[in-house]
Structure 1
Amino acid sequence: MTRAWILPLLLVLCGSAVATGLLLGGSPGAAAVFLLVFVLLAGVNSRLVFPKSIAAAEARRRSAVDGRPIVFWRPGCKYCLRLRIRLGRGARALHWVDIWRDPAGAAAVRAANDGNETVPTVLVAGRPYTNPEPDRVRGQLSSP
Structure 2
Amino acid sequence: MTTNEETAAVSTPPEVLFVCVHNAGRSQMAAALLDHHARGRVTVRSAGSAPAETVNPAVVAAMAELGIDLSREFPKPLTTDAVRAADVVVTMGCGDACPVFPGKRYLDWRLDDPAGRPVEEVRPIRDEIDRRVRALLAALVPAGS
- Larger RCO (CA within 8 A; separation ≥ 6): 2
Structure with more helix by fraction: 1
Report the TM-score range of the alignment, normalised by the length of the smaller protein: 0.3 to 0.5
TM-score by length of 1: 0.33
TM-score by length of 2: 0.33
Report which of the two structures shows the higher radius of gyration computed on alpha carbons: 1
